[in-house]
Amino acid sequence: MTLLSGLKIKKLNYLITIIGPTAIGKTALSIQLAQHFGCEIISCDSRQFFKEMNIGTAVPNKEELAGAPHHFIQNKSIFENYSVGDFETEALLKLDELFDKNSIQIMVGGSGLYVDAVLKGFDEFPEINTEIREEINTKYDELGIEFLQENLKKLDPDYYTKIEKENPQTLQNPQRMKRFVEVCIGSGKPYSSFIGKRKNQRNFTPIVIGLEADREIMYERINKRVDIMMADGLLEEAKKLYPNKELNALQTVGYRELFDFFDDKITLAEAVEQIKTNTRRFAKRQMTWFKRTENTNWFDFKTDSKEIINFIEETTHNS
């Protein structure tokens, strides 16, 4: 018996994280990798959490779901409040469970905020008085999104400018804007002053794989996917969801445009064209976000999965 025989060597866990814009081929790659490494898949596509939304969110089909065990696919209802913080907590618990079976696991999705939540976690913010929250909600109901924008610009001008430059659609998101403003008012400090203060420990090493393509190719794939969705019954799916169109989960591309059609604001042809246009814009924002993701290893979307597998194996062996 050697001196080392009684020591338990701590294994290293690796979370292979596949990112990239919509319709780039992340699902197919994730299944190929899961089959090779004998592991499971955590989905971090925030639109695919909801069981009532299927066609418009490009949920993996039955064959794809059968190709490897998936988690966080259609596991919630649109009537539930489900935040990115909730997802972070649940995903980390699930990963702890999965790493007990295999030291390599896979996460895949196009929701940058949700990817960051798992890989890095969130900063810690102060508790906010409920009266402040209620007052902000009341003011928003009276004055609209401009009230929130003006307050954030006044209370945290640097952060406002950063959002305006890097993620302008956030300025139109009432939930997130309310949160920014309530933290500023409730703490008496800029929202941005709380960012980056907390170090979140993770029991895994991320290996981030990014898929990309020339913009023209990416846009062509998006247009084709929308046509397929319409042929597969997206209009009928949206019609069933229309009575609940005010729900937060349904404030998303592919449904909003068809709701406008049902409201006689636009024609069906215009709605389909707007879905394509808005999805292309969404993909562009996704790439802007993901290009800031640290230590991403970028591959052309046509790269053979064997090449990516070899890269992963070399990376884990050299760690």
Residue 285 pLDDT more than 70? yes
Termini Cα distance of the chain: 28
DSSP conformational letter for 298: E
The lowest-confidence range among 21-35, 43-57, 110-124, 232-246 is 110-124
**CA–CA dist 18, 211 (Å, integer):** 8
- Cross-strand partners of 296: 208
Sign of the Cα torsion 174, 175, 177, 182 reads: positive
Six-digit token string for 16: 């292979």
**CA–CA dist 189, 182 (Å, integer):** 10
Question: Taking residues 191-200, what's their average pLDDT?
Answer: 80
Binding site listing for substrate? 22-27
Distance of CA 156 to the CA centre of its chain: 25
For a pLDDT cut of 90, what percent of the chain falls above it?
81
**CA–CA dist 302, 288 (Å, integer):** 21
Domain boundaries, the chain: 13-122+200-318, 130-194
**CA–CA dist 35, 266 (Å, integer):** 45
- What stretch of H or E contains 272? helix 268-290
**CA–CA dist 41, 98 (Å, integer):** 10
Question: Taking residues 269-280, what's their average pLDDT?
Answer: 97
pLDDT confidence band for 194 (50 / 70 / 90): confident
- The answer to pTM > 0.75 is yes
Using a CB cutoff of 8 Å and minimum separation of 24, what contacts does 177-180 make? 177/145, 177/148, 177/149, 177/152, 178/133, 178/136, 178/137, 178/140, 178/148, 180/148, 180/152, 180/156
pLDDT of residue 126: 82
**CA–CA dist 34, 214 (Å, integer):** 27
Name, in order, each residue with C-beta under 8 angstroms of 171's C-beta and a sequence gap of 6 or more.
145, 149, 160, 163, 164, 177
pLDDT of residue 200: 75
Question: Taking residues 265-270, what's their average pLDDT?
Answer: 98
Residue 245: burial class (beta carbons within 10 Å; 0-12, 13-18, 19+): middle
- What stretch of H or E contains 16? strand 14-19
- Cross-strand partners of 107: 17, 42
Question: Taking residues 110-137, what's their average pLDDT?
Answer: 88
Binding site listing for ATP? 20-27
Question: Taking residues 212-240, what's their average pLDDT?
Answer: 97
Say which CATH topology domain 130-194 has: Histone, subunit A (1.10.20)
The lowest-confidence range among 13-22, 24-33, 196-205 is 196-205
Binding site listing? 20-27
Q: Please tell us whether the domain made up of 13-122+200-318 is placed in CATH 3.40.50.300.
A: yes
What would the DSSP string read from start to end of 178-214?
Answer: HHHHHHHHHHSS-GGGGTT--PPP-SSEEEEEEEE--
**CA–CA dist 165, 157 (Å, integer):** 12
